[in-house]
Chain A
């Protein structure tokens, strides 16, 4: 009980309170602890924990290969990749300089000197620096295997955004319709063609849309006709007498409208969520510091 419950809670309470107090106390020791030492402690623990993770990864992949479970071929690739990265990271320098040129092996570097007949000598890269030196085997792996694979995964987002947008923008109810309209305004308002669409056009579209709404709900042809004729006449009349240019009235000009949506309703909503998140983080952290929440100990 003491080891599994009270000591961990006391450690969390003490270090939590210390880190919190560093924010308000002007003391270099406490400040250094909170900003540097504590994070370094964490990094050291995390570095050791990686071994546990790597062992667990290897264990599960080996079991999959040995039992030939579904998708075992991927596990075989994972194991091979793991050892490839491990060996070239720890046991192979992978970068031998001959002047400006870099070669993966000493043999290749010497062969290059022989073939060119130059008087240069082979300079191997320092251990440690070899994982960051441009042209080294490790960097080659990083640049030509790891980065493209990561970029491929990231690029998938473009297609997923499209499919997610397609579902979100289906006008199933009032909220979804609102999202659809806001989405269209933001998209059109942010591209050059948006500034070519006059406020007049948007007002006519709006008048016709309201006409469609009247037709759906009231099913009165005369009323719809009257609305369309009246509203279009008003827009045209006002526009001609007041000499509206393409961007007037500004509220119906897409670039201005999208900016308003972005900076007012959108920002207000996201700030409300942000305040909630901040408050949630403060309350959760205090629950840990005061030992009210003990679930992280498995209780």
Chain B
């Protein structure tokens, strides 16, 4: 453990020195944006910690502890409930395209859900709002059914396109909910005002609802109307959590280490700012870093 933190400390010093060196190169040869130095240091630190944690995870035989995330535990419960009730599962991967990392995360979680539906022989319905998402989601779903040895259960129309328009899509998905009465509704991706339309309609039909999003403004709506909500980082950790692969779990460990570093940095900034405001010192960390 001590060795690990020595590596990180050495790495951080090395990154800061590298950034300093890049900044002092004469302007005629220099392509480095000096004003982005703080961000550059942060990005390199994140990369270093992540790669080192992955390396450690690969060489370690001990499983990494992951706290229980109720929303992800509930995914299997939701699939089981749908199987018992003989009703389909509705999966909504947000309303944005594949250039949004939340949509990619939503499609990745869809792969895990499709694994379960293939295993339990449950019907899966994935209405999508973007044609590219449709293609990606089909690929992921197909692979899941093949992996589970149930290719005959896969039907490419289980992932179907509706429309790019936000409220037309909301109307169509609400219609599907009212007609098919799915036992479970999963909303994983990027959402806007339609989030509450989905969640309330799902609530009215008595479906078990699990939402996951990084859209900060929509989290309160999902928390209010859904049974479980994966808030922000929990949603991005979902794939690693469900896959249980050490390499991916190492990414979550790295994320937690970075979070601890960030908390330390925030505390340091508060102290620095307080001393600056009280006139104890002329140095202000935030101003110095240009943040």
A residues lining the B interface (CB < 8 Å): 20, 23-27, 39, 42, 45-46, 49-54, 56-57, 59-60, 70-71, 74, 149-150, 153-154, 156-157, 160-161, 163-165, 167-168, 270, 273-277, 279-288, 290, 292-293, 295-299
Given known contacts A164-B221, A167-B224, is B108 in contact with A279 (CB within 8 Å)? no
9 A-B pairs besides A53-B164, A273-B219 with CB distance below 8 A are A25-B31, A26-B30, A46-B130, A70-B179, A153-B170, A154-B167, A273-B231, A280-B255, A283-B252
Question: Is B210 part of the binding interface, using a Cβ–Cβ cutoff of 8 Å?
Answer: no
- Contact of A157 (CB < 8 Å), options: B108, B196, B239: B196
Q: A23-B39, A53-B161, A273-B216 are in contact. Are A292 and B251 (CB under 8 A)?
A: yes
- The docked-state distance in angstroms from the alpha carbon of A24 to that of B219 is 32
A284 and B236 contacting across the interface, CB-CB below 8 Å: yes
| Chain B contact residues: helix, strand, loop or mixed | helix
A283 touches which of B39, B97, B251 (Cβ 8 Å): B251
Cα distance A39–B100 when bound, in Å? 12
Q: Kindly identify which residue among A27, A150, A293 contacts B167, using a CB–CB cutoff of 8 Å.
A: A150
Name the segment of B1-9, B72-80, B138-146, B275-283 touching the other chain.
B138-146
Closest-CB distance, A183 to chain B (whole angstroms): 11
In the complex, which residue of chain B has the Cβ closest to the Cβ of A155?
B167
A296 CA / B109 CA spacing, docked (Å): 9
Tell me if B67 is interfacial: C-beta within 8 Å of chain A.
no
Q: How long is the Cα–Cα vector from A283 to B136 in the complex, in angstroms?
A: 21
User: A24: which of B40, B51, B54, B235 is its contact (CB, 8 Å)?
Assistant: B40
The answer to whether B225 and A164 touch across the interface, beta carbons within 8 angstroms, is yes
A292 near B255 with CB under 8 A, answer no
Please report the C-alpha to C-alpha distance between residue A45 and residue B99 in the assembled complex, in whole angstroms. 12
CB neighbours (8 Å) of A273 from chain B are: 216, 219, 231-232
Contact partners of B43 in chain A: CB under 8 A: 20, 24, 282
A99: shortest Cβ distance to chain B, in Å? 35
Q: What 0/1 readout, one digit per residue, does chain B (36-56) give for beta carbons within 8 Å of chain A?
A: 100110010011001100100
Q: Tell me which of B162, B193, B248 contacts A293 (CB under 8 A).
A: B248
A sample of 21 inter-chain contacts (CB < 8 A) reads A39-B99, A42-B97, A49-B132, A53-B131, A54-B131, A56-B160, A59-B157, A150-B167, A154-B167, A164-B199, A276-B233, A277-B214, A279-B262, A281-B214, A284-B101, A288-B104, A293-B239, A293-B248, A295-B112, A298-B111, A298-B142
Residue in contact with A296 in the complex, picked from B32, B140, B171, B237, CB distance below 8 Å:
B140
Chain A residues in 8 Å Cβ range of B134: 49, 52-53, 56
Instruction: Give the CA-CA distance A164 to B209 in the complex, in Å.
Output: 14
Q: Is the CB of A284 within 8 A of B167?
A: no
On chain A, the residues within 8 Å of B31 by CB distance are 25-27
A56 to B160 CA separation, bound complex (whole angstroms)? 7
Q: Which residues of B lie under 8 Å from residue A46 when comparing CB positions? A: 97, 130-132
Q: Across the interface, do A277 and B111 meet the contact criterion of CB distance under 8 Å?
A: no
- B272 at interface by CB-CB < 8 Å: no
Q: Which of the residues B139, B197, B252 comes within 8 Å of A160, measured between beta carbons?
A: B197
- Asked if A26 and B33 sit within 8 Å, CB to CB, the answer is yes
CB contacts (< 8 Å) of B248 on chain A: these are 287, 292-293
Report yes or no: B142 in contact with A270, Cβ–Cβ below 8 A: no
A157→B179 contact, CB < 8 A = no
Q: Does B86 sit at the interface, judged by CB under 8 A?
A: no
A160 to B165, CA, bound (A): 20
B contact residues around A51 at 8 Å (CB): 131
Is B188's beta carbon under 8 Å from chain A? Answer: no
- Say whether B116 faces chain A, with CB atoms less than 8 Å apart: no
A207 to B255: give the CA distance in the assembly, Å.
Answer: 46
A285: chain B residues at CB < 8 Å are 101
Chain B residue numbers with a CB within 8 Å of A275 are 259, 262
B233 touches A280 (CB 8 A): yes
- Residue B247 lies at the interface, judged by CB distance under 8 Å to chain A: yes
Contact present for B171 and A153 (CB under 8 Å): yes
Beyond A27-B31, A298-B143, is A277–B105 a contact (Cβ under 8 Å)?
no
3 pairs of A and B residues whose beta carbons are closest in the complex: A298-B143, A280-B236, A53-B131
Q: Which chain B residues lie closer than 8 Å to A277 at the CB level?
A: 214, 216, 232-233, 236
> In the complex, A20→B132 CA distance in Å?
23
